[in-house]
Amino acid sequence: MKLSEVVKKISDRLPVELVADQDNVGLILGDYDDECGKMVVAYELNAGVIDEAVKSGSNLIVTYHTPLFRAVKSFTTSSSRPDILVQAARRLLNVYAVHTALDVVQDGINFDLASRLGLKNTKYLSPLPDTLRKIVVFVPQDHLDKVRSAMSRGGAGIIGNYSECAFASEGEGSFLPGGGSAPYIGTPGKRERASESRLEMVVEKSHAGRVVRAMLEAHPYEEVAYDVYPLLNTSANYGFGAIGELEEKMVGGRFFGMVKKVLGQTLLKASHVVETEVRRVAVCAGSGVSFYGDAVRERADIFITGDVKHHDFRESMLLPTVLVDATHRGTERFAAGILHRIMNEIFKDRVVVNLSKYEYDSAVIV
Ligand SMILES: [Zn+2]
C-alpha cells in the first residue's frame, strides 16, 4: 500500500486535524510515494526501534509520542548530540506520530485507563469544542433516500449511540437554468420550480469533506445547493481526559494500592490525603495537569495524571479534588498496545503491524 494511503487511513481513524493546532502529529518524516507493507508500532522513536524496523523489513514506524514537538530550523547530528530523525532518515524510514489524536478518541488512551481502574459511566473530562458541522442540502424528493444514505455511509448523522440521524423538510426550490447548462429538471432559459427536501445532518468536521463528496456524487443536480455550518455544540465523540465512577466506594489506601498495581508504580504523589472514600475519579494520561480545573468542576474525588509540579500540588491543596501524580510514563504505559490494536484493526492483512519491544522510560528508579 502507498504511504499516502496508509497516512490517510490512520488520520481518518485518529483525527489529526482536530489536534494539529496544539500538537505536531501525522507524517513527521517520509516519502508519500513509498510502498509500505510492514510497520512497527512504538511508544516513541529511539535507536532500538529504528534497528528493529530495519531488521524486520519495515519502512514505517508509527509512534505515540511525536519525535518533533517544536519547530526546528535544521536537522543535524553529531556523536555528542545525535538527532533521532536524522538516524531514521539515513535508514530510509518513514515516521508517523499520533500523540493527542490517540488521546481524544473513545477507544484511546484515557478511556482505556479509566476502564483499567474499574471506572463506569465514563465520559470525557473535557470534550473538544468546535468539532461539529451541520451539512444542509436541497435534494429533489426522488433522490432524498439516496443522498441521505450516501451521507450516512460517509459518517454523517452520528449522535451518541444513534447513527443515520437526519431531518428532512419539504419545500419548493426554484431556479433559472442558464445557457450551456444541462439541468436534471427543466430546460435552459426557462424558470423552473421543483419539489425539494431540505436535508440536514450533523457531522464531525474531520469527516465533513468526505460526506460532502459522497453527497455530491449521489445528488442528481448539475449544481448542488448546499451549506456547511459550524456548530457551537460540543462533541460527544472527541475530548481530553476521562471521568467515571467506581462501582463501589473505596478507602484511599485501597484505591491507591490498586492504582499502583495497574500502572506498575511503586509510589504515587498526591496533593493531600483523601478524607472521604473514593467514588468519582478523573484521569488524563501524560501531562494533563491543565485539566485539573475540569476535574474539580466535575466533582471528582481524585484526578490522576503525570508531570505534576510543586506549585500545581500547592495550588490544589485546598480544593476537594486530590491531585495525584502517577508519572507521565505510568499513565501512558498502555499507549503502544492500544496503538497496535488500532493499527491492526485499520490495516488487517494489508500491512503487517508489529509491536516494538523497545520501551524507553524517561526515568528509572535508582
Ligand atoms: Zn506523553
Domains of the chain and CATH, by start: 3-99+333-355 (3.40.1390.30), 109-128+239-326 (3.40.1390.30), 132-230 (3.30.70.120)
For residue 195, pLDDT beyond 80: yes
For residue 365, pLDDT beyond 60: no
What's the average model confidence in pLDDT over 237-265? Answer: 94
Beta-strand pair 226-230/132-140:
antiparallel
Cα 332 to ligand 1 centre (Å): 6
pLDDT at 126: 94
Cα 247 to ligand 1 centre (Å): 28
What's the average model confidence in pLDDT over 250-259? Answer: 94
Q: Using one digit for the tens of pLDDT, what is the confidence trace for 128-166?
A: 888 899 999 999 999 999 999 999 999 999 987 889 999
Cα 173 to ligand 1 centre (Å): 53
The neighbouring-strand residues paired with 127 are 239
pLDDT band at 363 (very low <50, low <70, confident <90, very high): low
What's the average model confidence in pLDDT over 86-102? Answer: 95
pLDDT band at 364 (very low <50, low <70, confident <90, very high): low
Average pLDDT, the chain: 93
pLDDT band at 354 (very low <50, low <70, confident <90, very high): very high
What's the average model confidence in pLDDT over 13-22? Answer: 83
Cα 97 to ligand 1 centre (Å): 12
Share of the chain above pLDDT 70, in %: 98
Cα 141 to ligand 1 centre (Å): 51
Cα 335 to ligand 1 centre (Å): 9
Q: Which residues surround ligand 1, an ion (CB under 5 A)?
A: 286
* All three cell numbers of 366: 535508582
What is this structure's pTM? Answer: 0.83
Cα 329 to ligand 1 centre (Å): 7
Cα 327 to ligand 1 centre (Å): 10
pLDDT band at 361 (very low <50, low <70, confident <90, very high): low
Of 252 and 77, the one with more pLDDT:
252
What's the average model confidence in pLDDT over 260-287? Answer: 93
Cα 328 to ligand 1 centre (Å): 6
Cα 280 to ligand 1 centre (Å): 24
Cα 237 to ligand 1 centre (Å): 21
Cα 293 to ligand 1 centre (Å): 20
Alpha carbons within 13 A on the beta-carbon side of 176: 5
What's the average model confidence in pLDDT over 274-302? Answer: 95
Cα 349 to ligand 1 centre (Å): 29
For residue 366, pLDDT beyond 70: no
pLDDT at 110: 97
